[in-house]
Amino acid sequence: MPYRHLFGPVPSRRLGISLGIDLVPLKTCSYNCVYCECGPTTALTTERKEYVPTGDVIAELRSYLSTSPRLDYVTLAGSGEPTLHSGIGEIIRVVKSEFPAYRVAVLTNGSLLSDPEVRRALHDADLVVPTLNAVSDAPFRKICRPHRSISPETLIEGLIAFRKSFSGEIWLEVFIVPGVNDNDAEVGKIADAVREIMPDRVQLNTLDRPGAAAWVRPADRKTLDHIASLITATPVDIVGGLPSRGEIDSFHQESADTILALVRRRPCTLDDLAHATGMHRNEVGKYLQYLLENHLIEAKRAERGTFFLSVS
């Protein structure tokens, strides 16, 4: 059956073989992050509701998981902030009760964890990956461009409260934007917050393909190594140093080859490629990142967006 709300499995550097679940329309989020690979937020909101039918998502999951696919994670992520969906807790509970062999991950910006209902909804997940990019107000707002009701203080309070009530793993992502949150003063504040939150791991990330704002540049490895050395309360991973997507079992060379063939014919945007291949935008993005890393394609910004084109 065709799936409207599931995508993949995708080759994820952090999660291995990951089946994605998309719970909100593109691009519905409580942030409008400058680095987001999904592009600018079109619906900036903190309103929790049933953005897509919960019953339909559960039916698709039952259909797919009943075939016993090989997966490392069933991952709630996709086109925006998944905790905005009011049925996320029910979806997690169905997976864990009916298909207990599968681990559930939630990729979230963490902005709604100050809400006790959201913390309860994620209670049965195995892994939650929230984001903390800055502690000071100015860099927080410059990077995340959040809904007006969200502040770094409420974000951190929510993360601390969630850690106290959640028995699963928490991997805290810190996305480094050079010139904004990479100075020692801000990193020191982040390190202090990490000490309070006590995640199981910190994952340092930076730009690996074009984001929503043209001015954002990737941090170099020397900068990331220095930042990692300042965060001492918990182990730190640098995401760029994790295994290549090409080494993950869910990586399909034919998918990469199809995308490469399309951009060799003419420059394409991510949306062009998703439409042409029938793949979810997030899945296309994983293969674009692989092709960029291997210098097979390059990205160029234009009026209609970012275009990907062959380098040969």
Clarify whether residues 66 and 128 are in a common domain. yes
**Is residue 1 assigned to a domain?**
no
Name the residue range of residue 262's domain.
252-312
**Is residue 154 assigned to a domain?**
yes
Clarify whether residues 182 and 286 are in a common domain. no
> What tens digit of pLDDT does each residue of 58-100 get?
999 999 999 999 999 999 997 899 999 999 999 999 999 999 9
Residue 169 C-alpha from the chain's centroid:
16
Query: Quick check: 98 and 133 in contact, CB under 8 A?
Result: no
Query: Quick check: 45 and 124 in contact, CB under 8 A?
Result: no
- Flag whether pLDDT at 239 surpasses 90: no
> 219, 242, 265: which is the final residue of a domain?
242
- Flag whether pLDDT at 203 surpasses 70: yes
**Is residue 271 assigned to a domain?**
yes
- Look up residue 61 and give its amino acid: L
Clarify whether residues 216 and 270 are in a common domain. no
> 221, 242, 263: which is the final residue of a domain?
242
Residue 228 C-alpha from the chain's centroid:
20
How many domains is the chain partitioned into structurally?
2
> What tens digit of pLDDT does each residue of 112-139 get?
999 999 999 999 999 999 999 999 999 9
Residue 302 C-alpha from the chain's centroid:
25
Clarify whether residues 230 and 285 are in a common domain. no
Q: So what's the pLDDT on residue 226?
A: 96
**Could you tell me the CATH number of the domain that includes residue 292?**
1.10.10.10
Clarify whether residues 141 and 260 are in a common domain. no
> What tens digit of pLDDT does each residue of 253-295 get?
878 888 888 888 888 887 788 778 878 777 787 788 788 877 7
Q: So what's the pLDDT on residue 148?
A: 95
Clarify whether residues 191 and 219 are in a common domain. yes
**Is residue 247 assigned to a domain?**
no
**Could you tell me the CATH number of the domain that includes residue 213?**
3.20.20.70
Q: How far apart are CA 300 and CA 240, in angstroms?
A: 22
**Is residue 304 assigned to a domain?**
yes
Q: So what's the pLDDT on residue 33?
A: 95
**Is residue 301 assigned to a domain?**
yes
Clarify whether residues 301 and 203 are in a common domain. no
Clarify whether residues 226 and 292 are in a common domain. no
- Flag whether pLDDT at 1 surpasses 70: no
Q: Between 140 and 10, where is the model more confident? A: 140
Average pLDDT over residues 223-238: 95
Clarify whether residues 165 and 258 are in a common domain. no
Clarify whether residues 130 and 230 are in a common domain. yes
**Is residue 281 assigned to a domain?**
yes
**How would you write 143-174 as a 3-class SS string?**
HHCCCCCCCHHHHHHHHHHHHHHCCCEEEEEE
The band of 242, judged by pLDDT with boundaries at 50, 70 and 90, is low
- Flag whether pLDDT at 246 surpasses 60: no
Q: How far apart are CA 93 and CA 74, in angstroms?
A: 12
DSSP H/E element including 237 = strand 236-238
Clarify whether residues 256 and 237 are in a common domain. no
CA atoms within 13 A on the CB side of 237: 15
State phi, psi for 22 to the nearest 5 degrees. Answer: -105, 115
- Flag whether pLDDT at 249 surpasses 70: no
> 242, 269, 299: which is the final residue of a domain?
242
Cα separations in angstroms, 222 against 139, 217, 229, 231, 252: 21, 15, 11, 15, 32
**Is residue 101 assigned to a domain?**
yes
Q: How far apart are CA 275 and CA 37, in angstroms?
A: 17
State phi, psi for 310 to the nearest 5 degrees. Answer: -70, 145
Beta-carbon contacts of residue 67 (< 8 Å; ≥ 6 apart): none
Clarify whether residues 78 and 178 are in a common domain. yes
